[in-house]
Amino acid sequence: MRLEGKKALITGAAQGIGKSIALAMAKEGADIGVTDVNIESAEKTAQEIMALGVKSIALKLDVSKQPEVTGCFEAFVKAFGALDILVNNAGITKDNVLLRMKEEDWDAVMNINLKGSFLCCKEAVKIMAKQRSGKIISISSVVAFMGNPGQANYSSSKAGLIGLTKTIAKEYASRGVRANAVAPGFIQTAMTDVLTDAVKDEMKRAIPLGQFGTPEDVANAVIFLASRESDYITGQVLHINGGMYM
Ligand code: NAP
Instruction: List, for residues 70-92, the tens digit of each pLDDT value.
Output: 999 999 999 999 999 999 999 99
CA distance 20 to 25: 8
CA distance 188 to 204: 12
Residue 35 confidence class, pLDDT cut points 50, 70, 90: very high
Q: How far, in Å, from the CA of 88 to the mean position of ligand 1? A: 10
% of the chain surpassing 90 pLDDT: 96
Nearest C-alpha to atom 47 of ligand 1 is from which residue? 38
Would you say residue 195 has pLDDT above 90? no
All structural domains of the chain with their residue ranges: 7-188+216-240
Q: Tell me what pLDDT residue 77 has.
A: 98
**Ligand 1 mutation target, pool 9, 11, 15, 120, most atoms within 8 A of CB:** 15
Compute the average pLDDT of residues 45-60: 98
- For 155-170, the pLDDT digits (tens) are 999 999 999 999 999 9
Q: Which atom of ligand 1 is nearest to the CA of 20?
A: 26
Q: Which atom of ligand 1 is nearest to the CA of 16?
A: 26
- For 114-137, the pLDDT digits (tens) are 999 999 999 999 999 999 999 999
Q: Tell me what pLDDT residue 148 has.
A: 94
Q: Which atom of ligand 1 is nearest to the CA of 187?
A: 40
Q: How far, in Å, from the CA of 174 to the mean position of ligand 1? A: 31
Compute the average pLDDT of residues 54-63: 98
Q: How far, in Å, from the CA of 14 to the mean position of ligand 1? A: 9
Q: How far, in Å, from the CA of 90 to the mean position of ligand 1? A: 5
Rg (CA), the chain: 17
- pTM here is 0.98
% of the chain surpassing 70 pLDDT: 100
Q: Half-sphere exposure (CA, 13 Å, Cβ side) for 122? A: 14
CA distance 185 to 51: 31
Contact present, 164 and 121 (Cβ < 8 Å): yes
Q: Which atom of ligand 1 is nearest to the CA of 90?
A: 7
Q: Tell me what pLDDT residue 191 has.
A: 82
Residue 190 confidence class, pLDDT cut points 50, 70, 90: confident
Compute the average pLDDT of residues 25-52: 98
Compute the average pLDDT of residues 185-207: 91
CATH number (3.40.190.10, 3.30.70.270, 3.40.50.720, 3.30.1330.50) of 7-188+216-240 reads 3.40.50.720
Active-site annotation, residues: 154
Residue of 203, 196, 200, 105 lying closest to 156 (CA atoms): 105
The residues lining ligand 1, judged by C-beta closer than 6 Å to any ligand atom, are 11-12, 14-18, 36-38, 61-64, 89-92, 112, 116, 139, 141, 184, 186-187, 189-192
Q: Average pLDDT, whole number, for the chain?
A: 97
**Ligand 1 mutation target, pool 9, 37, 140, most atoms within 8 A of CB:** 37
